[in-house]
Amino acid sequence: GAALAMNLVEAARAILTEVATFEEAGVTGTPQE
């Protein structure tokens, strides 16, 4: 259970880090009105 939870946390952190990088670059997955 703990190992799975840590994997989920790592995956979520990686996704958030990538999203933040895209936002810094001015690139977003969806056009903002």
Cβ proximity of 21 and 14 under 8 Å = no
Quick one: pLDDT at residue 30? Answer: 66
* Measured CA distances, 10 to 5, 16, 17, 32 (Å): 9, 10, 10, 28
Q: CA quadruple 28, 30, 31, 33: dihedral positive or negative?
A: negative
Q: CA quadruple 18, 22, 24, 29: dihedral positive or negative?
A: negative
Quick one: pLDDT at residue 9? Answer: 94
Quick one: pLDDT at residue 27? Answer: 66
Quick one: pLDDT at residue 6? Answer: 94
Q: If DSSP codes are grouped into helix, strand and coil, which group holds residue 11?
A: helix
pLDDT, one tens digit for every residue, the chain (33 residues): 899 999 999 999 998 888 877 777 776 566 667
